[in-house]
Amino acid sequence: MDFKVPTDRKYTNSHEWVRLENEKAVMGITDYAQYQLSDVVYVELPKIGEVFEKGSMIGEIESVKAVDEFNMPLSGEIVELNDQLHNNPELVNSSPYDEGWFLKIKINNPSELDTFLTANQYQELIQREENQ
C-alpha cells in the first residue's frame, strides 16, 4: 500500500506532520494515520491560547470504532484552529496534508524541529510498522 508523504514538511514517530509557516508551526496527521483510523467522525482540538510542552496529549481523533490521541509536536501556544473540522471531519481522510490541518502553534523553541523525521525517514517508519 502506498501512502502519501510530501517532502515539504517533517514528521513525528506518532504519525503527525509539522510544517513551518512564517513563525508558526502547522500540524495535522499523516495519510498513513488517517488510513489506520478509517472514517474520522470527530476531532477534539485544544483551545486557542493554551500552552503545552512538546509531547503532551492535546487532543483526540475519533472514528466509528476507535479513538486516537495526538500530541503536541513542539512546545508553544495554540494560536489558530481549523474550524472546518467541526462540521467536516472527513477532511482529515480526504485531505490530511492540506484542508485537514488541525492547528497552528506559536513555537518557543524552533530547534525542537531538528529531532523530527524527514519524509524519507518517515517512509521507513511506515514500512517497519507495515511489516510487523
Partner 1 sequence: MDSDSRLIFEKGYNHPHNNFIPKMDIECVNIDDLISKTLQREDLPIPDIPEIEIVRHFLNLSQKTYGVDTGIYPLGSCTMKYNPKINEVIARLPYFSKLHPLQEENLGALELIIELSKILCQVTGMDGFTFQPAAGAHGELTGLLIIKKYFEIMNLKKNAIIIPESAHGTNPASAKMAGFSIIKIRSNKDGEIPIDLLKYAMEGDNVAGIMLTNPNTLGLFERNIKDITKIVHDYGGLCYYDGANLNPILGICRPGDMGFDIIHLNLHKTFSTPHGGGGPGSGPVGVKKELIQFLPNPCIFLNKDGFQYRECSENSIGRIKCFWGNFGILIRAYAYLLALGAQGLKRVGEISVLNANYLQVQLQKKYHVPYNRTCQHEFVLSDKNLPNDITTEDIAKRILDYGIYAPTIYFPLIVSGAMMIEPTETESKASLDNFVKVMLNIYEEARSNPELIKNAPHNTPVKRLDAVLAARKPILHD
Partner 2 sequence: MDFIPHDKDTIKEMLKVIGVNSIKDLYKDIPNELKVNKLDLPESLSEPDLLRKLEQLAHKNKIYSSSFLGAGCYYHYIPSLVEFVISRSEFYTSYTPYQAEASQGYLQAIFEYQSAISRLTGMDVANASMYDGSTALAEAAIISTIITRKNKILLLEGIHPEYIEVLKTYCWGHHIEYELVSEEFLFSKLSEDIAAILFQSPNFFGEIEDVSPLVKKIRTISPKCLIIQVMTDLTCLGILKPPGDLDIDIFVAEGQSLGIAPSFGGPGLGIFTAKNLFLRKVPGRLIGKTKEINGVKEGFILTLQAREQHIRREKAISNICTNQSLCSLAALIYLISLGKTGLREIASQNFQKANYVKRKIAEIEGFEVLNQKPTYNEFLVKCPNINKFRTLCKKDNLLPPLKLSKYFPDMKDVALICVTEMNKRSDIDAFLNAALLTIKKTKWRD
Is residue 66 a contact point for partner 2 (CB under 8 A)? yes
Phi, psi of 6, deg, nearest 5: -60, 145
Q: Choose which of 67, 84, 124, 129 interacts with partner 2 (CB under 8 A).
A: 67
Judged by CB under 8 A, the number of residues near partner 2 is 9
The closest of 33, 36, 44 to 89, measured between CA atoms, is: 44
Is residue 44 a contact point for partner 2 (CB under 8 A)? yes
Hey, what's the cell of 11? Answer: 514528521
Contact by Cβ (8 Å): 77, 105: yes
Window contacting partner 2 (CB under 8 A); options: 13-21, 25-33, 62-70, 108-116 = 62-70
Angle at 29 between CA 37 and CA 45, to 5 degrees: 90
Judged by CB under 8 A, the number of residues near partner 1 is 9
Binding site for partner 2 (CB under 8 A): 41-42, 44, 62-67
Binding site for partner 1 (CB under 8 A): 39, 41-42, 62-65, 89-90
